[in-house]
Amino acid sequence: MRTLVHVTLAAVTLAMISVAVAQELPARAEPTSPLGVRQDHIERMAAELEQKFAKLTEVLRDTEPEHASRLEEALLKSQQAQIRLRMDRITEHLDQGRLELAKAEQDAVLEELGKLIAILGDADDLDEMEKEVRRLESIRDRINNIIETETELRDDSNNLSNKDKVLAGLDAQIAAVKAVLEQQKAVRDQSAEARTRGVEAMGKAADAQAKVRKQTEELAERLAGKPAGGEGQASEGQPGEGQSGEGQSSEGQPGESQPGQSGQSKQPGQQASARQQEAAKQVGRATANQRRAEKNLDRGKGRAANTEQDQAIKRLEQALEELEKERRRIERLDDDDMDDLADRQDQVSDRTGDLAKEMKEGGEGSQGGEGGEGGEGGESGGQPTPGQQNVADAQKKMQQASGALKKKDSKGAGQKQQEAIDELEKAKNEIEERLKQLREEMQEEILAALEARFRQMLERQQPVTLTTAKLDAARHKRPADADADGKRPLRRPELLELKNAIEEEKALAEMAQQAMDIIVEDGTTVVFPRIVSGLKEDLDTVAKFLEQDQTGAYTQTLQQEIEKTLEELIEALERAQEVFEGGGQPGESANQQQIPPLVPGSAELKLLKAAQLRVNRQTTAFDKTRPPQLAPVHVGEVERISDRQDEVRDMATEMVEGPQ
């Protein structure tokens, strides 16, 4: 399919270049027959081009509907722009020596050919980028899965080399959670009793809850920052004693590995297992429940406080269960498990090697990116996949870890496994950076494509609006030979014009739907997709009114609002493209992995204001044109305007709450 589209695109480009060559001839040159001959040749190329559009559309309609739709759109655009007719006029101008008129027509044809290239080419580029994004996302997800499995292997290796110390640390953690759990249950009972004794008793219960909450916070920090067996672990595990988080190592955030720091690997016991991390999360969530319970007690809301306390108890019990499961699992480990660990490590190593190979092969044919240091680009000279070399290095570390396990060296295996995890984290970071870059490039392409689409819709809507007004004016100039509904009927040629107008409104509604699908898939804006959705709804409504022979003032008002909406959308897209060209959005987050919204917040606010003004105008217009007795269609329109007002309110709410 891509070859066929490129053939068609090449034909458009060739026609464009040919027109440009003719245009470069001196404007004052004497008219000669070769000029007319060359222009006539270009005209034949245009005719062949339209035939090619039509044939390719039919061939691809079933197998490649999206590409067929794009070609059909290009064919329609070519016919609407009357490119062949204009080229015929250029030939006539050249033959008769009217070079200035020929040049003006050539400029117009060049502009239309450029639009055709945009229709065919931009979407093609987007397809390529979308494929690359999906490929990199798949690789990233597989890397995450490998990291998770390798982390489990590392934990088991470290536990084997440090079993007694790990078990002692887990015992301390279990005791600490049990102590906090018992205290929380006691405060729960105190709070329940205080509900019957008045505000003063509830105040004392709030103080007791605050004390337990602080102890739970300290425990959560210790569980996250210093897992079992780590140096500095509070030996007694009682909440409120020992380390509270300030004494943590400066190597990184609690519970996070710091890949790639001076080539140092993590030592056994410095990493929390998956169950320990889950226990830490549950304890952290329990503190949030305790904090809310404390506030409710201060406000005299005993029942609400009890609900939060029950939830805190439940989460502390879940944390305790995770730690006890982990202890039982580690207690069962012995040196005989190293052979099983080695087999599992070999399996992960093979998966990692397969991924590294796929990344290399995929990078040779992809758009590529910034690969890892020392990455191979492949025989074809393509750019390597980001992180490719890091994944290959991770496999080597895994093979070394397997060798250490087979030699019963669990400590050495744990070190190599951590180094493999560090390499995989580096690879994932490189892929995330490339994904961010690709998504931003896609956004720029989307902005340009949407602007072109909305401009085309505006160009097509304007004559339909004029046609509706003309038909309505024509029927009011006639004698009152009204039909049964009190309308002056349209004549046969006018009915044909009306039918064409209906079909055009329906086609524009479909174009709006396609644009909305693109915007919704991007998923970075609040107002923009709602405005486009409303645009489609307005187009559908106008088509429905025209089908019911409603060409009056309200239908015309809706058509004018459609034009106004398109102008506002085009303005917003122009603003968004200016922001991209200026190097990013003002006040953009320092988080480089965060994708900026497709349309900047200032443009969204302007669209929101315009949406409210549009509802105001539609309300006023309906009120002025409403009949004494509302028909079902009019009742439906009132409901639609009401829904549109609700939509504006919801958009405003989302814009306020979204960042939170």
Q: What is the pLDDT of residues 118-173, one digit of tens each?
A: 555 545 566 777 888 889 999 999 999 999 999 989 988 888 888 888 899 999 99
What is the Cα–Cα distance from 185 to 290, expressed in whole angstroms? 12
In this predicted structure, what is the pLDDT of residue 74?
Answer: 60
In this predicted structure, what is the pLDDT of residue 179?
Answer: 95
**Comparing 281 with 622, which gets the higher pLDDT?**
281
Provide mean pLDDT across the span 424-450.
88
Q: pLDDT band at residue 599, thresholds of 50, 70 and 90?
A: low
Please give the structure tokens belonging to residue 295. Answer: 């506030």
Q: State yes or no: pLDDT of 655 exceeds 90.
A: no
Provide mean pLDDT across the span 102-116.
64
In this predicted structure, what is the pLDDT of residue 333?
Answer: 82
Neighbours of 257 (CB within 10 A): 20
Provide mean pLDDT across the span 465-484.
77
**7-11, 111-115, 625-629, range with greatest mean pLDDT:** 625-629
154 neighbors 417 (Cβ within 8 angstroms): yes
Q: State yes or no: pLDDT of 527 exceeds 50.
A: yes
Q: Which residues of 262-283 are buried (b: 16+ CB within 10 A; e: fewer)?
A: eeebbebbbbbbebbbbbbbbb
132 neighbors 292 (Cβ within 8 angstroms): no
**Domain residues of the chain, as ranges?**
2-135, 141-152+337-431, 163-241+265-331, 478-657
**Comparing 422 with 648, which gets the higher pLDDT?**
422
378 neighbors 384 (Cβ within 8 angstroms): yes
Q: State yes or no: pLDDT of 307 exceeds 60.
A: yes
Pick among 3.40.640.10, 1.20.120.230, 1.20.1600.10, 3.10.20.740: CATH of 2-135: 1.20.120.230
Distances (CA, A) of 411 to 157, 256, 418: 7, 20, 11
What pLDDT digit, counting tens, does each position of 340-382 carry? 999 999 999 999 999 999 998 876 555 444 433 444 443 334 5
Q: State yes or no: pLDDT of 588 exceeds 70.
A: no
Of all residues in the chain, the percent with pLDDT exceeding 70 is: 64
What is the Cα–Cα distance from 395 to 540, expressed in whole angstroms? 57
Helices 199-225 and 302-331: crossing angle, nearest 10°? Answer: 30
In this predicted structure, what is the pLDDT of residue 56?
Answer: 55
Of all residues in the chain, the percent with pLDDT exceeding 90 is: 31
Amino acid identity for residue 22 in this structure: A
Provide mean pLDDT across the span 91-97.
66
User: Which residues are within 8 A (CB) of 464 and not within 5 positions of it... i.e. 6 or more apart?
Assistant: 501, 504, 505, 508, 559
233 neighbors 241 (Cβ within 8 angstroms): no
In this predicted structure, what is the pLDDT of residue 486?
Answer: 53
What is the Cα–Cα distance from 67 to 4, expressed in whole angstroms? 10
Please give the structure tokens belonging to residue 62. Answer: 């079933």
Q: Mean pLDDT across the chain, nearest whole number?
A: 75
Q: Please name the residue that has the structure tokens 């044809």.
A: 109
Provide mean pLDDT across the span 508-526.
81
In this predicted structure, what is the pLDDT of residue 463?
Answer: 92
What pLDDT digit, counting tens, does each position of 238-255 carry? 333 333 333 333 333 333
